[in-house]
Structure 1
Amino acid sequence: MKHFLLATCATILLVGCANEASDTPKEATKAEQPAVTPEVQKLIETAKNGSHAYDIVESLTTEIGPRLAGTDAEARARDWAVAKFKEIGLENVRVQPFTIPGWERGEETASIVAPYAQQLYITSLGGSVATPSGGITAPIAFFPTFEDLEAAPAGGLDGKIVFISGRMEKAPDGAGYGPANRKRRSGATEAAKRGAVAVVIRSVGTDSHRFPHTGQMRYAEDTPKIPIAALSAPDADQLERVLSRGEKVTIKMTLTPRVTGDRPSGNIIGEIIGSESPEEIVLISGHLDSWDLGTGAIDDGAGIGISAGASQVILEAGLKPKRTIRVVAFGAEEVGLLGGFAYVDANRAELDNHVLATESDFGATAPYEVQSGVSAGEDVLKQIADATGLPMSDVRTNGGPDIGPMSREGVPTMRFQQDGTDYFDLHHTPDDTLDKIKPEDMATNAAAFAVMAWMASEADTNFRDTSDSASTE
């Protein structure tokens, strides 16, 4: 947690708090502080003296609430975003529409029928099919990990409900999410291959609350589609204890989600037009949609507040960037990064003019390091890191989930890595609500994004390696 302490306390320029980390000087001299231009200093002061980012996420989560992709709520969120972007003062505000396959959850109940009758707390995973109308009652086949299920022989699970456990480990960078998420993404397919009729998984999360975590799953085309749900962590613990008694365990589960056909979604775009090179774009973003259990505050109302709030800080500071700063609120991220892919398809002709791109989609805590995904201009990223009081990381980044598709097309990226140690306590649960967000952390993030967007706009580099050797690789 050393870097986190440096970011949240020693970053005096951003949040103005005293440095009390035990392994750093209590009083830093002026010579030790990174030099910043008057413009950068003005951005930092404007952000830390205001509540731009917090006010935006408060507005979104209060006036719209949960925003499941493809629903009327997401449509209302698009209208909200258009109005908010215009209110901030962004130009060329527009909706970039695309269509997605719609899905909505319905009833979701589960219980242990035998040997010890009791209720379980579950939630459907996004994209899951429904159970038969009367539910499914079947014995449990237990697999401690997803890898254990993968190693199981073909067949043998006919008529059974598979229960996959496997705990996700906490980490500041969320490193445990990818491995734990395999059971959510592919559990139904692997269980169906072996004859199972349904799946329940230990939630992909790190909390001990009785809130199950939802999230998108996928079916393989060549296997039967069976229903899949997530158990809260305490219920998964309880089910494991019951199984440890050595008796046959039977559960009943009922899920009634429905496919709603092709539904509209869209990205919202607004810009601060560049004064010298308006065709060159620095892109900052978050995603507008959320899951439907909470109000989508940390995932990803915070990212909308941070990116849009940063643009508001730049405008309020009276600064005019040389390059265009584009703010994007991506739609339909939660159901497969569909907004990110739609953006690439719609803007393919101008991707070469995207100078640098990033997304805020890891909650609302303060950043603790800067990650690079550029092939040139590392010195500028180092200057940005210095100006925000953060260390550079050796970790490479694709810029964020929705930035990944354009990163694969060659768009340079960077990321302010936030501390996500507790992010997956709340992620995709009813607990994802505004009270988990600290206004001062939002101001810190907005300052960092504003400084990054401004300095990238003013930099001479385009962050791409255009040498002959690079172009032939």
Structure 2
Amino acid sequence: MKQLLSLFTVTCALLCTSASAQEFTNEQLNQVNTLRTNAMQSDLSWQILSSLTTEIGPRLPGTENDKLAVAWAQKQFKSLGFDKVWVEPATFPNWRRYHESASITLPSHQPLHITALGNSVSTPKAGLKGEVILFETFEELVAAPENSLNGKIAFINYRMNRDIDGNGYGPAVKARNKGAVEAAKKGAVGYIMRSVSTGHHRFAHTGGSHYDERVTKIPTAAVANPDADQLERLISMGHTVNIDMNIQTEDLGEGTSYNVIGEITGSETPEQYVLIGGHLDSWDLGTGALDDGAGVALTMAAAKLIKDVKRPKRSVRVVLFAAEELGLWGAKAYFKANEKSLTNIVAAAESDFGAGQVYSFESNVHAQSLPIVRAIAQELAPLNITYIGKNEAHGGPDLIPFKQAGSAPVFGLDQNGTDYFDYHHTADDTLDKVDPEKLRQNTAAYAIFAFMAADAKNTIKAK
């Protein structure tokens, strides 16, 4: 077995070396080494992130802070020496939260820590009172009999599992997206859910929710995990549990924000470009350091560091998407505005999973382009990044339209998200949760990836 493993390792090394030799000259690989060293010694991404989260703060789409962030991003791009800087509009449903509170009123009075979910309607001004009916899963709520929740408040208590790649998020978020609709179908007057969270702190986690225009809209909120535990214990003891919740929000109709775009123009085929970026908006509870200030900062810094070493053959475009939190509105707008030229994207990757260390690298490209992918993987290896050769990368959320259309080669620089959902969408998403050393490693990874994809001998092709 050891001999087989040794043979496999040697073979892999030879193949990767061969791929590098075919796609990149020794001079280019020396430039990659310089770029890696510079990025690991640079605090630029930290400085950008500190500025965004300190001088601007939370950036809910449509707010004054969102407008400030758009202006801030344009100024940053220009000060960093990007060749082109522009904005593209994106419209979205403009929503505000003003007040949220709740308490248990029966069997005893106890405060609850809640937060309205995005797009929630208001309760009556005096609040909403009702008995809580517990469901362990979204599917259990869907299966409840018609009219079984008349006058009640539905409560889904699904626990999200913790994992490095955040694979528990999808199953948990179903209750956030559609829980209020299913509860209303059964006659409920309100809906609450256990936070989509792996944390034990008493912060409630917000996030987007959606209504069905054919179903009565009811107030919808998330409950902090320890408070969800308290509700569960009371109900399991046989108590009837009543709560009083008060949520005041407003639907302001259609709003407009902007994707902010900066480009380092390529030296040979500038119309082709590598797309990297994150989303500029954030929820209103914290300062959006992890979600997604880090992605904004590290991709801006990566492109700047590339330019400082060499202008690559193809362009490097950093897109800071608007209104991601409310439903990928900036991504949809970018896709529509650039639909006729999307084939010019030679590689796309989004950083939108906090600032944990990048631990793996994966692609979703045409098989002909895998030698370039392996060459990039070889240069990422010194950063302790493992290559995943399945060629099935999903990319970040703002890349969903591109992947669905098959219009761009998509990549994943996968970050360690073991503790990401402890802070995600809470008041605790603040700058102190970001490790500067890990942020530097992220920046180096994106710089190497973007530079090599932009400067390769051959163009990376989509599947």
TM value normalised by structure 1: 0.90
Tell whether the 8 Å contact from 2:203 to 2:427 is kept in structure 1 after alignment. Answer: yes
Following superposition, the deviation at residue 51 of structure 1 comes to: 0.7
Tell me the residue number matched to 2:387: 392
Distance 1:255 1:395, change over 3 A: farther
Q: Which of 414, 429, 432 in structure 2 is aligned with 1:432?
A: 429
Alignment of 1:220-369 (within 5 A): 220-317=212-309, 319-369=310-360
Tell me the residue number matched to 1:17: none
Following superposition, the deviation at residue 49 of structure 1 comes to: 1.3
Following superposition, the deviation at residue 380 of structure 1 comes to: 1.1
Are residue 168 (structure 1) and residue 165 (structure 2) matched? no
Gaps of 5+ in 1: 1-30
SS at match of 2:98: coil
Tell me the residue number matched to 1:372: 363
Cα displacement string for residues 368-415 of structure 1 (whole angstroms, at most 9, x for unaligned residues): 111111123112111111101122213622321111112222211101
Higher helix proportion, which one? 2
Tell whether the 8 Å contact from 2:91 to 2:329 is kept in structure 1 after alignment. Answer: no
Following superposition, the deviation at residue 132 of structure 1 comes to: 0.8
Are residue 408 (structure 1) and residue 400 (structure 2) matched? no
Tell me the residue number matched to 1:157: 149
Tell whether the 8 Å contact from 2:332 to 2:401 is kept in structure 1 after alignment. Answer: yes
SS at match of 1:84: helix
Tell me the residue number matched to 1:15: none
Structure 1's consecutive aligned runs of 4 or more residues displaced over 3 angstroms after TM superposition are 31-36
Q: Which of 127, 133, 137 in structure 2 is aligned with 1:135?
A: 127
**In 1, Cα distance between the equivalents of 2:410 and 2:136?**
38
Tell whether the 8 Å contact from 2:129 to 2:245 is kept in structure 1 after alignment. Answer: yes
Tell me the residue number matched to 2:138: 146
**In 1, Cα distance between the equivalents of 2:113 and 2:345?**
45
SS at match of 1:447: helix
Tell whether the 8 Å contact from 1:69 to 1:290 is kept in structure 2 after alignment. Answer: yes
Q: Which of 28, 31, 44 in structure 2 is aligned with 1:39?
A: 31
Tell me the residue number matched to 2:190: 198
Tell whether the 8 Å contact from 1:158 to 1:194 is kept in structure 2 after alignment. Answer: yes
Tell whether the 8 Å contact from 1:52 to 1:312 is kept in structure 2 after alignment. Answer: no
**In 1, Cα distance between the equivalents of 2:183 and 2:61?**
27
Following superposition, the deviation at residue 98 of structure 1 comes to: 2.1
Cα displacement string for residues 341-392 of structure 1 (whole angstroms, at most 9, x for unaligned residues): 0000111111011111110000111111111111231121111111011222
Q: Which of 99, 111, 116 in structure 1 is aligned with 2:91?
A: 99
Tell whether the 8 Å contact from 1:137 to 1:252 is kept in structure 2 after alignment. Answer: yes
**In 2, Cα distance between the equivalents of 1:81 and 1:171?**
33
Name the count of aligned residue pairs.
Answer: 436
Cα displacement string for residues 416-464 of structure 1 (whole angstroms, at most 9, x for unaligned residues): 0011010000000011000011111111111111111111111233322
**In 2, Cα distance between the equivalents of 1:461 and 1:395?**
18
Tell me the residue number matched to 1:460: 457
**In 2, Cα distance between the equivalents of 1:175 and 1:379?**
29
Tell whether the 8 Å contact from 1:105 to 1:256 is kept in structure 2 after alignment. Answer: yes
Are residue 52 (structure 1) and residue 44 (structure 2) matched? yes
SS at match of 2:398: coil
Supply the AA of the counterpart residue of 1:176. G
Cα displacement string for residues 192-225 of structure 1 (whole angstroms, at most 9, x for unaligned residues): 0000000010000000000000000001121110
Tell whether the 8 Å contact from 1:71 to 1:263 is kept in structure 2 after alignment. Answer: no
**In 2, Cα distance between the equivalents of 1:379 and 1:221?**
49
**In 1, Cα distance between the equivalents of 2:219 and 2:71?**
34
SS at match of 1:63: helix
Cα displacement string for residues 152-193 of structure 1 (whole angstroms, at most 9, x for unaligned residues): 122111000011101000011100000000000010000000
- Considering only aligned residues, what root-mean-square deviation do their CA atoms show, in Å? 1.6
Following superposition, the deviation at residue 150 of structure 1 comes to: 1.3
Supply the AA of the counterpart residue of 2:350. E
Out of 240-249 and 126-135, give the one that drifted further.
240-249
SS at match of 2:260: strand
**In 2, Cα distance between the equivalents of 1:226 and 1:379?**
53
SS at match of 1:453: helix
Supply the AA of the counterpart residue of 1:449. Y
**In 2, Cα distance between the equivalents of 1:407 and 1:88?**
30
Identity within the alignment, %: 48
**In 2, Cα distance between the equivalents of 1:70 and 1:362?**
23
Tell me the residue number matched to 1:88: 80
Supply the AA of the counterpart residue of 2:427. P
Tell whether the 8 Å contact from 1:46 to 1:316 is kept in structure 2 after alignment. Answer: no
**In 2, Cα distance between the equivalents of 1:77 and 1:203?**
28
Tell me the residue number matched to 2:203: 211
Tell whether the 8 Å contact from 1:366 to 1:419 is kept in structure 2 after alignment. Answer: yes
